Amino acid sequence: MNLAAIQQDFRAWLVSGTEEAAARFAPEARAGLSVYQNNYRASLMACLAESFPRTRMWIGEQTFRSVAATLIDARPPDSWSLDHYAAHFPAALAEALPHAPEAGELAMLEQALTDAFVGPDAPALRPDQLSEIDWDTAILQLVPTARLLRHTTNAASIWSALTDEQAPPPAALLPEPRMLLIWRTEHISCFRALENWETESTQRAIHGISFADLCARLVGRSGEAEGIQAAGAWLAQSTTDRLIRTLPLEA
């Protein structure tokens, strides 16, 4: 048996723990194999527990560990880093607890905040730089850590209450879905709920949008006076949040 085959058999044992997988090794190796498998599962469980502290507080330790164990049984790691394993948990939670949609959305928010914290750096436009921009030749683009999440529940309010060590509100469906914007400024991951009028502008700014196009779209939506005012408000809020950068307009 070559090394690659041994490694494949060992991986099969870690993932499945079946007698068939164990039978590929000598009987005297069984005790050692059990130690390795326990460490494997414990490492994945610890990774998930550390990645979702508020979600764990919300749904309780027993439910959290049950869903995590099911995920570990069903899906082995598919990346070189355990940090990436946590990305699978929000979907697993949503599938396991369809009667509690806020749980999956809470985990999704926690994962997004973590992703923003470790995301790439990029210089953001400051309010005092606005006068230096040539608005005819530049486009606005969100910083690379920015992403949007669609929420149908009050999971964001639950997260905020748990973070502030306050009693969380009861789970509730929102009157209509809301978009949450997540990003990092300096060394802090942030989020806020978007108003309906700013959602489209923010979505387009992920890939880049000229200020003229931004204004035109908002004018078309709300009329000239309100549209221009909304464009100014969006730009002011985005620069205050250190959320956008400018790029040269492509020829």
Least reliable range by pLDDT among 17-26, 43-52, 118-127: 17-26
Question: What distance in Å separates the CA atoms of residue 179 and residue 184, rounded to the nearest whole number?
Answer: 17
**Same domain membership, residue 153 and residue 240:** yes
Residue 9 lies in a domain: yes
Res 179 pLDDT > 80: yes
Question: CA angle, 65 as apex, 62 and 71 as ends, to 5°?
Answer: 145
83-97 tens-digit pLDDT: 788 999 999 999 999
47-75 tens-digit pLDDT: 999 999 999 999 999 999 999 999 998 88
- Quote the mean pLDDT of the chain: 87
Phi, psi of 234 (to 5 degrees): -65, -45
Residue 114 lies in a domain: no
Comparing 3 with 58, the larger pLDDT belongs to 58
**Same domain membership, residue 56 and residue 16:** yes
Question: Among 233, 244, 155, which Cα is nearest to 197's?
Answer: 233
% residues pLDDT > 70 (the chain): 83
- Kindly report the pTM of this predicted structure: 0.82
Domain limits for position 234? 127-248
202-222 tens-digit pLDDT: 999 998 998 889 889 999 988
Average pLDDT over residues 139-156: 95
**Same domain membership, residue 243 and residue 132:** yes
Confidence of residue 78 (pLDDT cuts 50, 70, 90): confident
Confidence of residue 106 (pLDDT cuts 50, 70, 90): very high
**Same domain membership, residue 156 and residue 58:** no
Question: Among 141, 139, 246, 233, which Cα is nearest to 194's?
Answer: 233
**Same domain membership, residue 76 and residue 169:** no
Output the pLDDT for position 9.
64
Residue 181 lies in a domain: yes
182 contacts 190 by C-beta, under 8 angstroms: yes
| Number of domains composing the chain | 2
**Same domain membership, residue 215 and residue 168:** yes
Question: What's the CATH code of the domain at 189?
Answer: 3.90.930.50
Comparing 137 with 14, the larger pLDDT belongs to 137
